[in-house]
Amino acid sequence: MYEIRIHSRGGQGGVTAAKLLALAAFRDGKYATACPFYGAERRGAPVVSFVRIDDEPIKIYSQIHEPDLVIVLDTSIMDVVDVLQGLKSGGTVLLNSAHPLLGCNGTCRHVDLTGIALAENLVVAGSPILNTPVLGALAKMGVVTFPSAEKAIREMFADERNVKAAKAAYEELKA
Amino acid sequence: MLTIATGNKAVAAAVKAAKPGVVAAYPITPQTEIVEQIAEYVTDGDLESQYIPVESEHSAMAACIGASAGGVRTFTATSSHGLLYMHEMVHWAAGARLPIVMANVNRALGPGWNTWAEHSDAFSQRDTGWLQVFVGTVQEAYDATLMAFKIAEDERVLLPVMVNLDGFALSHIMQALETVDLGDFLPPYHLPHAIDTENPCVYGPMTGPADYFRFRWDIERSMRDARGVIAEVEREFAERFGRSYGPTEDYRCEDADVVVIAMGTLGKEAEVAVDRLRDEGIKAGSMRLRWFRPFPDLDLAGREVVVIDRDYSFGFGGVVAHSIRSKTGVVPYSVIAGLGGQEVTYNDIADFVRNRHPGTETWFGVSDHV
């Protein structure tokens, strides 16, 4: 089982990112669950969502305490949340950042999702949309295939700019 | 069709397939997504139904009672305080023998204000005469909702059914969902005592002690008959659609020395705990209790039992633990866990089994073996 924890702020689309990722994995023929953790959060507060991907049906409903992959959609959270907590040894971190910001005991990747969203003018209520471009980066990392990522995005969103943004993130992902 | 969906969306999809003539509901977290989705189906013309956006849950159930007695299939959904608010009408629906189906997205009761999973809301309606089923997956939320209509409307039952799913833990997670083409699985709604304007009669008049007492016995007689009807419907569902269900879902129980009994999502997570315990050489099994009313006959002879209650009857004990004890004579180890959405993992459940003390009660993380 591959376990993913997504850190974001309320309103940034972390929950939708989890759903998109689960849907893409499902389109790859895997079992997947997306479990957003709903707290008493408001717009702007740090939030987490979880995704599990496996070849077998998934029976676990509790939170992910030892993720294989941590995704940080808003790096300003790292001032208040230990995003590396419980990360498996050899695990991976993906940051929404133009620069490497973090050392970890596994692999750290980064891509400027905010810049990509702004370049595509993917902005809703003043916030750049991060949940569709991040899927492109995850496809590059092999978490899902790109065709399934594309399919998942098109199933949930009609605007083709979402697919273009995912392609851009696929190209721009840094080691 | 195969897709992925939340537990709430799965319930709404089942309601769309069952085509109720009236849906009356009031939104409440974490149930809202169900009635939002149904309202959308009605607006988009995907479901031909009268959607009544009432001003309270009491009115929601009252509207369902009127519509059901008027001769149409009805559905509503609620949670927690919404269910408590409709309590008077919940009794009435069963007493009037109306096969209403209601989804209850299990949520804790305030104060403190808490929107997360707990089974106390459903158990507060335990003695109303409603059938109660608890589901553990998104697929099961869909399947159980479909079957609920058929079971409720069977003339041997004619009692309302409450389909329970854990708030957030199931209502808001996405999993695989296969929707089905119902065909003639669900016959047209027929209520033998439906209001007939050609033949006017009085509904709900003053009823003397002797007749009232017979009506109460008739509810119980139907509850007992419901066991057989449930089994028939679940068998037919399995034959038609390939997914089988029973009063419990048993996992590695055949040779188990110790059995974990839990409901809802904790009952599924318990299967992972069982695998871990088996790896350590502990012969554990899991029995996820699906039907709570009517309460099934369980064979637990010669086994130790660990019951996880996501509920509590103050001054008495865990509702499920004591139900098991009174029905089977087995004295379980009673664990109270997951109240108000408390995080309980498969590792915790495995620990409950490792540290079991039959005859005692533990409040997970708070108080051991009291």
pLDDT of residue B219: 98
**pLDDT at position A175 over 90:** no
pLDDT at A126: 86
Listed in sequence order, the residues at least 6 apart from B27 whose beta carbon sits closer than 8 Å to its beta carbon are B35, B36
**What are the Cα distances from residue B62, in Å, to B31, B57, B59?**
19, 8, 5
Give me the pLDDT at residue A102, please.
Answer: 72
pLDDT digits (tens, 9 = 90+) for B166-209: 999 999 999 999 999 999 999 999 999 999 989 998 888 899 99
Give the model's pLDDT for residue B68.
98
Average pLDDT over residues B57-76: 98
What sign has the CA pseudo-torsion A145, A147, A149, A151? negative
Instruction: Please give the Cα distance from B319 to A70 (Å, whole number).
Output: 39
Say if residue B209 is preceded by a cis peptide, omega within 30 of 0.
Answer: no
Out of B174, B343, B344, the one facing A34 most closely (by C-beta) is B174
For residue B30, whether the previous peptide bond is cis, meaning omega lies within 30 degrees of 0, is yes
Q: Are residues B73 and B210 in the same domain?
A: yes
Q: What is the pLDDT of residues A5-30, one digit of tens each?
A: 999 998 888 899 999 999 999 999 99
Backbone angles phi, psi at B279, to 5 degrees: -60, -30
Q: Are B47 and B141 members of one domain?
A: yes
Residues A90 and A68: their CA atoms lie apart, in Å, by 8
Q: Is A38 strand, coil or helix?
A: coil
Residues of B in contact with A156 (CB under 8 A): none
Question: φ, ψ for residue B78 (rounded to 5)?
Answer: -160, -170
Q: Please determine, for residue A174, whether its predicted confidence score (pLDDT) is greater than 90.
A: no
Cβ neighbours of B364 (radius 10 Å): 19
Question: Which tens digits make up the pLDDT trace of B5-38?
Answer: 999 999 999 999 999 999 999 999 999 999 999 9
Neighbouring-strand partners of residue A32? A53
Which runs of consecutive H residues, i.e. helices, occur in B280-345? 319-328
Judge whether A60 is closer than 8 Å to chain B, CB to CB.
yes
Q: Which of A30, A35, A61 to mutate to test the interface with B (most CBs of B within 10 A)?
A: A61
Closest CA to B177 of B150, B144, B131: B144
pLDDT beyond 90 at A101: no
Pairing mode, strands B50-53 and B361-363: unpaired
Can you give the CATH number for the domain in which B325 is found? 3.40.50.920
Question: Could you tell me if B120 lies within 8 Å of chain A, comparing CB atoms?
Answer: no
Q: Give B82-119 pLDDT, tens digit per residue.
A: 999 999 999 999 999 999 999 999 999 999 999 999 99
B-chain residues near A36 (CB < 8 A): 172-173
Predicted pLDDT of residue A111: 96
Distance CA B156, CA B175 (A): 34
**What confidence tens digit (pLDDT) does each residue in A109-118 have?**
999 999 999 9
Strand partners, B103: B77, B163
How many Cβ pairs within 8 Å bridge chains A and B? Answer: 54
Kind plus residue range of the DSSP H or E element containing B27: none
Do B265 and B338 share a domain, yes or no?
Answer: yes
Nearest CB to B175: which of A33, A36, A38?
A: A33
CB environment B186-209: b (16+ within 10 A), e (fewer): beebebeeeeeeeeeeeeeeeeee
The model's confidence at residue B1, banded by pLDDT at 50, 70 and 90, is confident
Angle at B146 between CA A56 and CA B45, to 5 degrees: 105
Note whether residue B189 is domain-resident: no
Residues of chain B in contact with residue A19, where contact means CB-CB under 8 angstroms, are: 174
In a shared domain, residues B31 and B168: yes
Could you tell me which residue, B239 or A99, shows the higher pLDDT? B239
Q: How far apart are CA B103 and CA B147, in angstroms?
A: 12
**Cα–Cα distance, A147 to A140 (Å, whole number):** 11
Tell me the C-alpha distance between B100 and B76, whole Å. 8
**Whether the bond into B247 is cis, omega within 30 of 0:** no
Sign (positive or negative) of CA dihedral B218, B224, B230, B236: negative
> Does residue B200 sit within a domain?
no
Q: Distance between CA B310 and CA B336 in Å, rounded?
A: 6
Q: Which run of H or of E encompasses B227?
A: helix B209-241
Span B131-140, mean pLDDT?
A: 98
Contact A34 B265 (CB under 8 A): no
Chain B residues whose CB is inside 8 A of the A59 CB are 268-269, 271-272
Position A104 scores a pLDDT of: 67
Give the rounded percent of residues in chain B with a pLDDT score beyond 90. Answer: 96
Whether residue B153 sits in one domain with residue B19: yes
Burial class of residue B359, CB neighbours in 10 A (0-12, 13-18, 19+): exposed
Average pLDDT, chain A: 93
Give B268's contacts in chain A (Cβ within 8 Å): 59, 61
Best residue of A33, A52, A62, A155 to probe chain B, by most B CBs closer than 10 Å: A62
B356 and B277 housed in the same domain:
yes
3-state secondary structure of B160: coil
Question: Looking at residue A63, what is its pLDDT?
Answer: 95
Q: What pLDDT does residue B260 have? A: 98
- Indicate whether B199 belongs to any domain: no
Same-domain pairing of B214 and B258:
no
B271 and B229, same structural domain?
no
**Cβ-nearest to B269 among A18, A62, A65:** A62
DSSP B58-78: HHHHHHHHHHHHTT--EEEEE
* pLDDT value of position A41: 63
Q: Using CA atoms, how far apart are residues B269 and B254, in angstroms rounded to an integer?
A: 19
Residue type, A171: E
For residue B296, give how far its alpha carbon lies from the nearest alpha carbon of chain A (Å): 24
Same-domain check for residues B210 and B314: no
Note the pTM of the prediction, 2 decimals.
0.96
Of the candidates A18, A23, A61, the beta carbon closest to that of B268 is on A61
- The answer on pLDDT for A42 being more than 80 is no
Radius of gyration of chain B (CA): 20
Q: State residue A36's pLDDT score.
A: 83
Please report the DSSP string for B180-196 in residue order.
---TTSSPPP--TT---
The verdict on residue B196 lying in a domain is no
User: In this structure, are B236 and B345 located in the same domain?
Assistant: no
Contact B343 A63 (CB under 8 A): yes
pLDDT of residue A12: 85
Indicate which CATH number applies to the domain containing B156.
3.40.50.970
Is B46 part of a structural domain of the chain? yes
Query: Total domain count for chain B?
Result: 2
pLDDT digits (tens, 9 = 90+) for B329-359: 999 999 999 999 999 999 999 999 999 999 9
pLDDT given at position B34 = 98
Say whether both B148 and B258 belong to one domain: no
Q: Return the CATH class of domain A2-172.
A: alpha beta
- Which residue on chain B is closest to A155 by alpha carbon? B3
User: What are the distances in angstroms from CA A57 to CA B9, B55, B366?
Assistant: 19, 41, 33
Judging contacts by C-beta atoms under 8 Å, the chain B residues touching residue A26 are 4, 176
**Does residue B192 lie within any of the structural domains?**
no
Mean pLDDT of chain B: 97
Which of A18, A22, A60 is the closest to B346 by Cβ?
Answer: A60
pLDDT at A95: 95
pLDDT at position A105 is 64
Domain boundary among B241, B266, B288: B241
Note whether B164 and B276 are same-domain residues: no
Q: Range of B84's domain?
A: 2-178+205-241
Tell me the mean pLDDT in the region A116-132.
Answer: 92
